[in-house]
Structure 1
Amino acid sequence: MQRFMLKFLYVVATFKYPGIRRDLRYFIRDNYFSRLNQIRFVTKDYIARKKYKVIDFHGEFDQELRYVLPFAYWHHLNGTLKQTISCTNTRDFYFFSEHHTEQYEKRVWQAGYEYYDVPNMTHSPTFDFSKWTRVPFKKRYQNEVFVFDKPMLMIANKYNIEWDKPPINFLDIPALNRIVSTYKTKYQIVYNRPLSTQIVLDNSEIMDLNEHQWLRENHPEVILMHDLFEQHKNMVNNFNHLQLMVYANCNRFISMHGGTAALASYFGGMNIILSHPGGGMEHHFNEYATIFPALSGAQILHAKNTDDVFRYLSEYY
């Protein structure tokens, strides 16, 4: 039955979106099926409303942030969330879950395929927000600890394998130098690029950009998240907890394609996302204008190259 429905929904996607590439219609098909799958839970979700829903996910971080967490939070508010299961150091993301288990030590990107338990499970030109609610990270984690003399500018960089290719979406040292030199008088710049020991990895191998020592030597006024973690180890639960606390006090972000961009989009304000064309599916489905701003109401500025980053900085920051 499932195979028949998937074939039928692919035909529906073909007729509804004839201009979209054939391979991309599979994403639309899967989202259609995941939404239809919710029909099974109408009685439990809207009539019985007892705690029954167990949400178990260890796929890509980006997918968890965009689809799984808002779905879990909806069930929490609905009174139907029983348990959440995810990866190591995710308890603070699921602060609202009474029973959260950190079961997995590694993310497996294949685990996101055929994960039809949530009404939005992959890329799509449209999203169903009927069981999707913003998770109030900013309200939850705002604090008086990470407050500085100047407004904060968070540079959330990354440097890792993307789609089995060398790094594509990242800021190199010359770009970092230009940003810091230009904006350090206006903002307290905080730099974040987590190490492999600080987050749960998936298939994207983290590589060394050698920028941390360079920043310490050439721009000591920049605050490194690594240093904040060492300074506040006794106060925070883990590196993810630190990210939530620092990000909650920030309204200006520069972030990179993927989970880095999704997390930075959870805290309102403005978020410049560097995402080169030709890689992720966000471009094909215009998701920087749909699901990303929906995460918190943040203004998303999609930079397709480094020049766009500087153009947005000049215009908005």
Structure 2
Amino acid sequence: MQRLLLKFLYVMAAIRYPQYRGDLPYFIRDNWFARLNQLRFVRRDYLTRKPYKVISFQGEFDQELRYCLPFAYWHHRNGTLKQTIGCANTKPFYYFSENHTERYTERIWQKGYDSYDVPNMTHSPTYDFGKWTPPPFKSHYRNNLFVYNKPLLVIANKYNIEWDRPPVNFLSIDALDRLISRLKRTYQIVYNRPLSGQIVLDNSEIMDLGEHAWLRANHPEVLLMNDLFEQYRTQVANYNHLQLMVYANADRFVSMHGGTAALASYFGGINVILSHPGGGFEHAFDEYSTLFPAFSGAKILHAKSTEEVFAYVDQYF
């Protein structure tokens, strides 16, 4: 029965969205089926409303931020969340869960697909926000520890394999030099690019950009998240906890395609996202205009090239 319904939904998606190439209706089909699957829980979600929902996730960090966390927080607010299960060091993201277990030591990207337990579990031109409430990270983690004489600006870079190809969406050392030189007089910049030992990895191998030593030598005014982690080890639970605390005090972000961009979009303000065309389905489904602003009401500026990053920074920062 499920296979027949999935085939039917694919045909309907292809008819409804004829402008999309042939593989994209599969995502829409899965999104629709995940929403329909929620009909099984109408009684428990809206009538009895007792804790029953166990949410377990081992997929990509990006998907966890997009779909799983808002679903879990909705159940928390609804009074129906029983337990959450995730990867190591994820408790700060699930601070609202009274029973969170860090079961997994690695992320498996395939785990996020062919799973219909969470609505909106994949890319789509439209989303159902009925059971989708992003946790208010900014208000929860705002603090007096990371306060400086100038407003905080976070540059959230990455340099890793993307879609089994060399790095695509990242700021080079030359680009960082230009960006920091432009902004450091106005902002206290925090540079964030987690190393492999600080986060749970998936299929995206982290590579060596060599920028941390270069930043210390050429822009000592910039605070490195890696250095802050060493400095405040006794005051933060883990690297994710540190990220949340620093981000909560910032209103300006420059971030990269993927989980880096999704996390920065949770904290309001303005987030310039570098996401080159030709990789990722956010472009095809216009998700930087639909999904990403919904995380916190942040102003999302989608830069399709490094030059557009500079243009947005000049205009809005």
Q: Tell me how far apart the structure 2 counterparts of residues 69 and 244 of structure 1 sit (CA, whole Å).
A: 14
Measured after TM superposition, the shift of residue 92 of structure 1 is 0.6
TM-score (norm 1): 1.00
TM-score (norm 2): 1.00
1:107-118 to structure 2, matched below 5 A, reads 107-118=107-118
The equivalent of 2:34 in structure 1 is 34
Identify unmatched segments of 5+ residues in structure 2.
none
1:98-177 to structure 2, matched below 5 A, reads 98-177=98-177
RMSD: 0.4
Q: Tell me how far apart the structure 2 counterparts of residues 5 and 148 of structure 1 sit (CA, whole Å).
A: 56
| Residue 227 (structure 1) aligned with residue 231 (structure 2) | no
Secondary structure class of the residue paired with 2:23: helix
The equivalent of 1:267 in structure 2 is 267
1:6-155 to structure 2, matched below 5 A, reads 6-155=6-155
| Residue 283 (structure 1) aligned with residue 283 (structure 2) | yes
Q: Tell me how far apart the structure 1 counterparts of residues 233 and 115 of structure 2 sit (CA, whole Å).
A: 35
Secondary structure class of the residue paired with 2:153: strand
Q: Tell me how far apart the structure 1 counterparts of residues 4 and 50 of structure 2 sit (CA, whole Å).
A: 32
Measured after TM superposition, the shift of residue 115 of structure 1 is 1.3
Q: What amino acid does structure 2 have at the position aligned with 1:97?
A: S
The equivalent of 1:297 in structure 2 is 297
Q: Tell me how far apart the structure 2 counterparts of residues 125 and 254 of structure 1 sit (CA, whole Å).
A: 25
Measured after TM superposition, the shift of residue 153 of structure 1 is 1.1
Q: Tell me how far apart the structure 2 counterparts of residues 254 and 69 of structure 1 sit (CA, whole Å).
A: 22
Identical-residue share of aligned pairs (%): 71
Secondary structure class of the residue paired with 1:98: coil
Measured after TM superposition, the shift of residue 138 of structure 1 is 0.3
Identify unmatched segments of 5+ residues in structure 1.
none
The equivalent of 2:190 in structure 1 is 190
The size of the alignment, in residue pairs, is 317
Q: Tell me how far apart the structure 1 counterparts of residues 134 and 123 of structure 2 sit (CA, whole Å).
A: 18
Secondary structure class of the residue paired with 2:272: strand
Q: What amino acid does structure 1 have at the position aligned with 2:36?
A: L
Q: What amino acid does structure 2 have at the position aligned with 1:149?
A: N
Secondary structure class of the residue paired with 2:116: coil
Q: What amino acid does structure 2 have at the position aligned with 1:58?
A: Q
Q: What amino acid does structure 2 have at the position aligned with 1:211?
A: E
Q: Tell me how far apart the structure 1 counterparts of residues 223 and 117 of structure 2 sit (CA, whole Å).
A: 40
Q: Tell me how far apart the structure 2 counterparts of residues 274 and 35 of structure 1 sit (CA, whole Å).
A: 30
Secondary structure class of the residue paired with 1:251: strand
Measured after TM superposition, the shift of residue 250 of structure 1 is 0.2
The equivalent of 1:313 in structure 2 is 313
Measured after TM superposition, the shift of residue 316 of structure 1 is 0.3
> Residues 243-265 of structure 1, C-alpha deviation per residue, up to 9 Å, x if partnerless?
00000000000000000000000
Measured after TM superposition, the shift of residue 134 of structure 1 is 2.1
Measured after TM superposition, the shift of residue 182 of structure 1 is 1.1
Q: Tell me how far apart the structure 2 counterparts of residues 278 and 81 of structure 1 sit (CA, whole Å).
A: 38
Secondary structure class of the residue paired with 2:250: coil
